[in-house]
Amino acid sequence: MKHYDYLIVGSGLFGSTFAYRAHKIGKKCLVIDKRPHLGGNVYCEKIEGINVHKYGAHIFHTSNKKVWDFVNSIVEFNRYTNSPIAYYKGKFYNLPFNMNTFYQLWGVKTPAEAHAKIEEQKSIAMTQMNAEGITEPRNLEEQARILIGNDIYESLIKGYTEKQWGRKCSELPAFIIKRLPVRFIFDNNYFNDCYQGIPIGGYNQLINGLLDGVETRTGINFFENRTQWEKIANKIVFTGKIDEFYDYQFGKLEYRTVRFEEEVLETTNYQGNAVVNYTERDIPYTRIIEHKHFEMFGLEIEKFPKTVITKEFSTEWKDGMEPYYPINDEKNNTLYRKYENLAKKEKNTIFGGRLAEYKYYDMHKIIEEVLNIDI
């Protein structure tokens, strides 16, 4: 007799949502996680009364009402709207690229003026490429210039992207930046989705609600006693690295990772915004997160005498580091497909999430996928 219907390896959004659905229909589940806490990368730690996103900022957004209603049935979400700001050479610019950004860059005041300026710069970039006999963009730099022009590329894209990927834009594939959001309206809302927000009380409230009544164990590494864990359940839900599951038999997939530097500051309000991107190449971190602004608004900010900020440094991934962003270039995608073919043959293992499927997932897409699984 197996002890459980499902052994769920990983307590992030995929594993926790799967456990919730299985538990609701009477399935016996065990969720294990190698970290000392539940929640995967959405885990928050309470510091100075502030919910700190320990593994980077997470903002929930979706246009899928079914997904939005589902997460709000677990915990109510607040009204947070993501409106990041870019800092470049002593000046601030609104994101995403919109009329506020164009006014800050060029002083243009109408959509027609902004459109004309962008088209002028795009035309210059195309003319330069044609003069060199280039018919299609060969890299990210050329792609960005013909999409948005030189000014925005140089000030708001180039340095940030090179820090994010650890490579020059001229060495990155063009497909990474095939589309750029451009709005000819004064609108700093980063997302186009109908719904967005943060769980009131932090993401731990969402995870705790999803795992309510489900048996969980933390500090457990599935691979340290794999044979034992595979024996205790009828099926496994695996959310870790797919190449590790298959003992790296075809080789190791590559990632980018992030290093975090966290500080508690003796001020009520450090930067006035949750997210500020630093787009200069010479500034080593990509952005600063001030966690207070995700859940505190207006005068509420002043009630807490301190604030917590996190500087994020994009880093080349090595063994032992936490994998964050899959590098979906041709080499890695070809390698992943080999592992994917093995996974398709598994009858008693379900693979899900960004590591098991080797692709970047927004949170709502993870939940949407789990809601559509036949459990």
Write down the catalytic residue from 119, 230, 248, 360.
360
Catalytic annotation present for 287: yes
- Which tokens go with 20? 């919730």
- Marked catalytic residue, from 5, 45, 154, 362: 362
- Name which of 13, 5, 7 is nearest 352 in CA terms: 13
The helix or strand, by DSSP H or E, that contains position 205, with its residue range, turns out to be helix 203-210
* 179 given a catalytic annotation: yes
Q: Nearest Cα to 340, choosing from 327, 325, 355?
A: 355
Preceding peptide of 96 cis, ω within 30°: yes
Catalytic residue flag (residue 187): no
Q: Choosing from 35, 145, 287, 354, which is the catalytic residue?
A: 287
Say whether 21 is catalytic: no
Tell the burial category of 151 from Cβ atoms under 10 Å away from its Cβ (0-12, 13-18, 19+): middle
Element (H, E) at 325: strand 325-326
Say which of 5, 154, 256, 262 is annotated catalytic.
256
The yes-or-no answer on residue 362 being catalytic is: yes
Residues 337 and 331: their CA atoms lie apart, in Å, by 10
Residue 19, both tokens: 């456990």
Chain-centroid distance, C-alpha 6: 27
Among candidate residues 132, 179, 224, 266, the one labeled active-site is 179
Q: Which of 295, 312, 324, 358 is catalytic?
A: 312
- CA 74/CA 367 separation, integer angstroms: 13
Pick the catalytic residue: 35, 145, 183, 354? 183
Establish whether 360 is a catalytic residue.
yes
Beta strands 85-88 and 275-278 are parallel
Q: Does residue 281 contact residue 163 with C-beta atoms inside 8 Å?
A: yes
What is the set of active-site residues?
A: 179, 183, 256, 287, 312, 360, 362
